[in-house]
Structure formats: structure tokens, C-alpha cells
């Protein structure tokens, strides 16, 4: 439990989070306002190219097949939803429209947002014989509806005074109620799959993942607060507490488990697939709801991740029982981690890790699903890039925290790659193989809810002005409201984390010159002192190098930095 002496640190921490989520007034030096507008408009065009092609060729089905200009409802990960009120027995839940609503608001298109809200109000139903994945349906559909409901009742929305009578909230409540039978297990851990009409099917699999049962709290907690029905939050919280009770003495969790026996199935885990949003939701639930319980869980698990998974800027997997490394692999999903580190204020670690993900992006043109760090090669079967958002997401958070124009350059590279490799006449296509750039006929809905949204926010964050949001793991914004806080948060930041000492001086000139090597002096009115007993700066201010001798001592770990293949000083995985 945090001690009383931590109150000041707590306030600083909270202020930092608020600062990170707010719009800063200062424009980015080196990336002029005309260029920012140009990039923003480029992202806007990307979004509408994806959205309009979906509306023309796929709506009201779930997702677009951009190469053949057709549709798909058979999401292996989501299951089948369908709209019964439509003619011709359509399958589909207009998933991409549900996922696009909050992005339309971020782009300032209230007219199309309102059109979508009213269409869904009239047509969507969940009273269907459909087996869906609880986690995916929660983050995409429930999260999309809850967020859109909040935005529809926002003072900026014209719907507030017109035709909108909480229809999306009614739909969300109905969907949430259909989720509840999944939680009726001896452990309280929910089944991974549920039939929306009939509940849990006979002989349903009892296997689920850590993220599948441990990251439902944001959407279900928000639903409870909006409806006044505590059952949604209670179910998600009970599952989360049970999951947490299954941690090892090292405070590590596995990746898959049995919801009936409460036994682990896969003991190895990392910060990527099957676990990622579990960590994300502990911290974001604390920010959104203010309970110390979430912070305590996050704090313990964050320290365990840094201790057992981190190796320099990389995060490998480890066995939860021993802490011993298992798989030395970089996965595309892990790229959300630097963004989460920004929310907790660990900027130096976020920056060094983000730079490595970007190095791999740059090497292939996009981020491969899995990259074998120990062999320096692609995973033989997971060479795909399904338009994932995680690197863009972290880039957005790093830019919010640092205002370093370098992150805009990263965003520009990501945008150019997406347009060059994945844009086709019928939308944006996934990459089947990053070594050949062969495309796959699928435009995932998260390309609209997350990838385009974070890239747009990187160049225009006016949506954030005057309101702080937590973004769900699917990129749907939920406002941070004092009235949702059960009590005021208390937090403790370990002294060796790279924390901002004075919240009035939180703006930094350059992440490359300061966060990577934090004690580099900056001069000027916004200089910032960060403790570092052992720090020795790299020879060059831009951290480029040809030999290890040109690299200094890392200020946070006190370890010798070495020169990477890419020619940057850092704490790389394989040191001499």
C-alpha cells in the first residue's frame, strides 16, 4: 500500500498523466505548422478512403475485403454477429461502423457520426444466435457503443438535443447483459466464447487468455457507471481479482488458463499477445476509476515486467514460475508498451523501447507480427502485418509527453509506408508477408478505430482540448470524470523511475537528446533536471555512433550503452 509520504509524488504523477493527455499549446519546432496540417490531411484522406470503401462495398457487414471489394462477417477472432432486422438475412454487425464512430468525432465529422449513431439505433440487435469472442466483442462492440454514447451526449454533439434518446447505451446494456452468463463459472473467470442468444454453449472450451479475462474492466466499469447497474463492473472485477490471485510469487502471470479449474495452461508470458491489455487495463482502470487496488496490481506487475522481461530496450517472454527467459521474440502487439510507460511516466524506458520497434518497422517497411531477436530474423509463419496500430499509438503518446518533433517524423514514416504498401483502390489491405509485401484481402476494423485515429491525433490533438480521456485498448475514448472516481488516488513512484520532478517544467526539447540520455543538458527556459548518479552522456548529442566507445552509461540502469547495428547508442539485447 502506498504510504502517506507518497502523497506529493501521487499528485505529481496524476498531474503528469493529465499533462500527457492534454493538448500542449507549443508547436513542434522543426515540424512546422504547415507540415502538420499537410500530414493531418493525409491521415484524414486515409481514414475516409478506408471508411468510404467499407460503406460502399461492405456495410452493414462487419469488415471490408479491399482487394475484391467485398465483405466478411466471419472474423475468426470475433465470431459471427448479425443484424436480424435487415432484409435478406444479412450477417454482420456493421462492426467497422461501430468502430469508426469515435474516430469520426476525433476528425470533427459530427454529421457522419450522427448518421451512424441513428442508423445503428434503428438497426442493431444482439438477440441473435451467434457465438462471439467475449474479449473482442467487449473491446470492439461494447467499447465502441459506450464511447459513442458518451460522445453523442457530449455538449458538442447536436444529437444531445435531438433524436438521440440513449439508444446506444440501451444497446450496450443489452450486450453487457448477454455477456454475464460467461462469468458464471466456479472461479468467476469468464468463458472466452458466448452465444449472445443462448449463453454458454454445451462443451464450450474452458481455455481463455490472461487478456481475455483480465481486460474487461474499462468497458464494463463504464457501463455500470452509465446505467447504474453494478453487475457489469462486479463481474469484470471479480474475474480480475481471481486472475491476480493466480500470479506467481514473482508477481508474474501466464498466458492461457482454464476458467473452470483456475489452473494455468501456458506458464510463459510477456507483454504481447494474450497478455498485453491486462497490464494496460490495470493502469487505465486506476486512471479512470481511481481505486488504489488497480494501482497496487499495476505497480507490482510493472516492476515484475521490468525485472523479468526487460533486456535493454527489448521485452522477451519468461516463465511465470521461475522468471527464466523463454522466447526471445519481438511481436507487433508489444509495441503498445512504450505508450503505457508514458502514461506511468517512465519516459526513458518508453523512448528506448519505442526506438527499437521503429528500427524494425523501418527495416521491413511495416512491423512484422513476430521477429526472432535471438536469430535476427522473421518468424517463419508469422510474417504478416494486419494494419496494426500499436507503434502509431506509442508514437502518439511519446509525442504528447515530449513534444519532440522526431516522433512526428516517425509518424510520417508510418503514414508513408501505409500508403505505399497497403493502400489499394478498395481501401487498405493487410500485409500477408512483410518480406515480399504480398497483400491479404482484409481491412481490420481497428485500422479505423485505432491506427488512423492515433496517427491523426499525432498531428492534430484538438479533440483532447479541455477534456482528458483514457483510450480503451481498441482506441475508444472514455472521459476522465471526477464523479467516476471512487476515491482520490494515492500513488508511489519509485525513485529510480524517470519521473518529472516539477510538473510546471514537464515539456522537454527532444526525446532523443534527453529521454534516451536524460541528463543531457538543454539550456533555455525549459531545462529539466533528472537524477542520475552514474550517467555518462553519449559522445554525440544525436546518439549516433560507429563504435561502442562513443556510447556512455545509461542514467536509469547505470549500464554501459553500446552501439547498435542501426548506429545508435542504447541498451541493446546482445551486449559484448
Q: One symbol per residue from 409 to 448: x for binding ligand DMJ (CB under 6 A), - otherwise; what is it?
A: -------------------------------------x--
Scored b (16 or more CB within 10 A) or e, 535-562 reads bbbbeeeebebeeeebbbbbbbbeeebb
Residue 121 or residue 451: which is nearer to ligand DMJ going by CB? 451
State the cell numbers at 478.
472514455
- Among residues 469, 454, 452, which one has the least CA distance to residue 150? 469
Place of cell 504510504: 3
* 390 is a catalytic site residue: yes
414 exposed, middle or buried (CB, 10 Å; 0-12, 13-18, 19+)?
A: buried
Stretch of 179-187, 196-204, 296-304, 384-392 lying at the interface with ligand DMJ (CB under 6 A): 384-392
Tell me the number of residues near ligand DMJ by CB under 6 A: 9
Among residues 136, 296, 474, 490, the one annotated as catalytic is: 136
* CB 289, CB 486: distance < 8 Å: yes
- Among residues 37, 49, 55, 31, which one has the least CA distance to residue 419? 49
- DSSP-assigned letter for residue 6: G
CB of 215 to ligand DMJ, least distance (A): 7
Q: Does 395 bind ligand DMJ (CB under 6 A)?
A: no
Which listed residue (97, 333, 350, 378) binds ligand DMJ by CB under 6 A? Answer: 333
Stretch of 115-123, 165-173, 198-206, 385-393 lying at the interface with ligand DMJ (CB under 6 A): 385-393
Evaluate the omega torsion of the peptide bond into residue 173 and state whether it is cis, within 30 degrees of 0. no
Which listed residue (82, 173, 388, 476) binds ligand DMJ by CB under 6 A? Answer: 388
Residue 195 or residue 449: which is nearer to ligand DMJ going by CB? 449
Which listed residue (269, 277, 341, 532) binds ligand DMJ by CB under 6 A? Answer: 277
154 exposed, middle or buried (CB, 10 Å; 0-12, 13-18, 19+)?
A: middle
Among residues 369, 460, 490, 538, the one annotated as catalytic is: 369
Task: Report CA 498 to chain centroid distance, whole Å.
Answer: 22
* 280 is a catalytic site residue: no
* 548 is a catalytic site residue: no
Among residues 276, 346, 412, 440, the one annotated as catalytic is: 276
CB of 139 to ligand DMJ, least distance (A): 6
Place of cell 463481474: 235
Stretch of 150-158, 216-224, 382-390, 425-433 lying at the interface with ligand DMJ (CB under 6 A): 382-390
Q: Does 473 bind ligand DMJ (CB under 6 A)?
A: yes
Stretch of 178-186, 388-396, 412-420, 527-535 lying at the interface with ligand DMJ (CB under 6 A): 388-396
Q: Does 474 bind ligand DMJ (CB under 6 A)?
A: yes
Among residues 319, 390, 450, 474, the one annotated as catalytic is: 390
State the cell numbers at 289.
476509476
Question: What pairing do the DSSP bridges indicate for beta strands 427-428 and 423-424?
Answer: antiparallel
Q: How many CB atoms lie within 10 A of CB 38?
A: 12
* CB 173, CB 219: distance < 8 Å: no
Residue 274 or residue 426: which is nearer to ligand DMJ going by CB? 274
Residue 195 or residue 334: which is nearer to ligand DMJ going by CB? 334
CB of 449 to ligand DMJ, least distance (A): 8
Residues with Cβ < 8 Å from 463, sequence gap 6 or more?
A: 105, 106, 108, 457, 477
Stretch of 10-18, 281-289, 383-391, 545-553 lying at the interface with ligand DMJ (CB under 6 A): 383-391
Q: Does 57 bind ligand DMJ (CB under 6 A)?
A: no
Distance CA 199, CA 179 (A): 8
Q: Does 62 bind ligand DMJ (CB under 6 A)?
A: no
* CB 298, CB 283: distance < 8 Å: yes
Any idea which residues carry the catalytic annotation?
Answer: 136, 276, 369, 390
| Contact footprint for ligand DMJ (CB under 6 A) | 276-277, 333, 388-390, 446, 473-474
Amino acid at each position: 500500500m502506498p504510504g502517506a509520504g507518497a502523497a506529493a509524488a501521487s499528485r505529481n504523477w496524476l498531474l503528469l498523466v493529465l499533462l500527457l493527455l492534454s493538448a500542449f499549446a507549443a508547436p513542434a519546432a522543426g515540424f512546422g505548422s504547415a507540415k502538420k496540417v499537410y500530414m493531418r490531411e493525409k491521415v484524414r484522406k486515409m481514414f475516409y478512403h478506408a471508411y468510404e470503401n467499407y460503406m460502399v462495398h461492405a456495410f452493414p457487414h462487419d469488415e471490408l475485403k479491399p482487394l475484391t471489394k467485398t465483405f466478411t462477417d466471419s472474423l475468426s477472432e470475433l465470431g459471427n454477429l448479425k443484424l436480424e432486422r435487415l432484409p435478406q438475412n444479412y450477417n454482420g454487425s456493421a462492426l467497422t461502423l461501430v468502430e469508426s464512430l469515435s474516430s469520426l468525432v476525433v476528425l470533427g465529422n459530427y454529421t457522419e457520426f450522427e448518421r451512424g449513431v441513428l442508423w445503428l439505433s434503428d438497426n442493431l440487435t444482439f438477440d441473435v444466435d451467434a457465438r462471439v469472442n467475449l474479449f473482442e466483442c467487449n473491446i470492439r462492440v461494447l467499447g465502441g457503443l459506450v464511447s459513442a454514447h458518451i460522445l453523442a451526449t457530449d455538449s458538442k454533439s447536436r444529437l444531445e438535443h435531438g433524436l438521440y434518446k440513449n439508444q446506444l447505451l440501451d444497446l450496450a446494456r443489452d450486450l453487457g447483459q448477454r455477456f454475464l452468463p460467461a462469468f458464471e463459472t466456479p472461479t468467476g473467470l469468464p468463458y472466452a466464447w458466448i452465444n449472445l442468444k443462448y449463453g454458454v454453449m454445451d462443451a464450450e472450451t474452458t481455455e481463455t487468455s490472461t487478456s481475455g479475462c483480465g481486460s474487461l474492466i474499462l468497458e464494463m466499469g463504464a457501463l455500470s457507471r452509465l446505467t447504474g447497474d453494478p453487475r457489469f463492473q462486479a463481474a469484470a472485477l471479480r474475474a480480475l481479482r481471481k486472475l491476480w490471485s493466480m500470479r506467481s510469487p514473482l508477481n508474474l502471470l501466464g498466458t492461457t488458463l482454464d476458467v473452470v479449474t483456475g489452473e494455468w495452461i501456458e506458464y510463459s508470458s510477456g507483454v504481447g499477445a494474450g497478455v498485453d491489455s491486462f497490464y494496460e487495463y490495470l493502469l487505465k482502470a486506476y486512471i479512470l476509476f481511481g481505486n488504489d487496488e488497480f494501482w497496487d496490481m499495476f505497480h507490482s506487475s510493472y516492476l515484475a515486467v521490468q525485472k523479468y522481461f526487460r533486456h535493454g530496450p527489448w521485452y522477451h517472454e519468461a516463465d511465470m514460475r521461475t522468471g527464466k527467459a523463454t522466447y526471445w521474440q519481438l511481436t507487433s502487439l508489444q509495441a503498445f508498451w512504450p505508450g503505457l510507460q508514458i502514461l506511468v511516466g517512465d519516459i526513458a524506458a518508453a523512448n528506448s523501447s519505442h526506438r527499437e520497434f521503429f528500427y524494425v518497422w523501418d527495416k521491413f517497411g511495416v512491423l512484422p507480427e513476430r521477429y526472432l531477436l535471438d536469430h535476427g530474423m522473421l518468424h517463419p509463419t508469422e510474417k504478416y502485418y494486419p494494419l496494426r496500430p500499436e507503434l502509431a499509438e506509442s508514437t502518439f503518446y511519446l509525442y504528447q509527453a515530449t513534444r519532440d518533433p522526431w516522433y512526428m517524423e516517425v509518424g510520417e514514416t508510418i503514414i508513408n509506408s501505409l500508403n505505399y504498401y497497403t493502400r489499394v483502390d478498395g481501401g487498405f489491405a493487410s500485409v500477408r508477408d512483410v518480406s515480399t509485401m504480398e497483400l491479404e484481402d482484409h481491412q481490420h476494423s481497428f485500422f479505423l478505430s485505432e491506427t488512423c485515429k492515433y496517427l491523426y491525433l499525432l498531428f492534430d490533438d484538438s479533440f483532447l482540448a479541455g477534456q482528458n480521456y483514457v483510450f480503451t485498448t481498441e482506441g475508444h475514448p472514455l472521459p476522465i470524470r471526477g464523479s467516476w472516481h471512487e476515491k482520490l488516488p494515492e500513488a508511489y513512484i519509485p525513485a529510480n523511475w524517470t519521473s518529472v520532478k516539477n510538473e510546471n517544467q514537464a515539456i522537454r526539447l527532444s526525446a532523443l537528446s534527453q529521454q534516451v540520455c536524460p541528463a543531457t543538458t538543454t539550456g533555455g527556459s525549459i531545462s529539466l533536471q533528472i537524477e542520475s548518479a552514474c550517467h555518462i552522456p553519449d559522445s554525440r548529442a544525436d546518439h549516433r555512433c560507429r563504435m561502442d566507445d562513443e556510447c556512455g552509461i545509461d542514467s536509469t540502469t547505470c549500464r554501459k550503452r553500446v552501439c547498435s547495428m542501426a548506429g545508435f547508442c542504447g541498451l541493446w539485447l546482445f551486449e559484448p
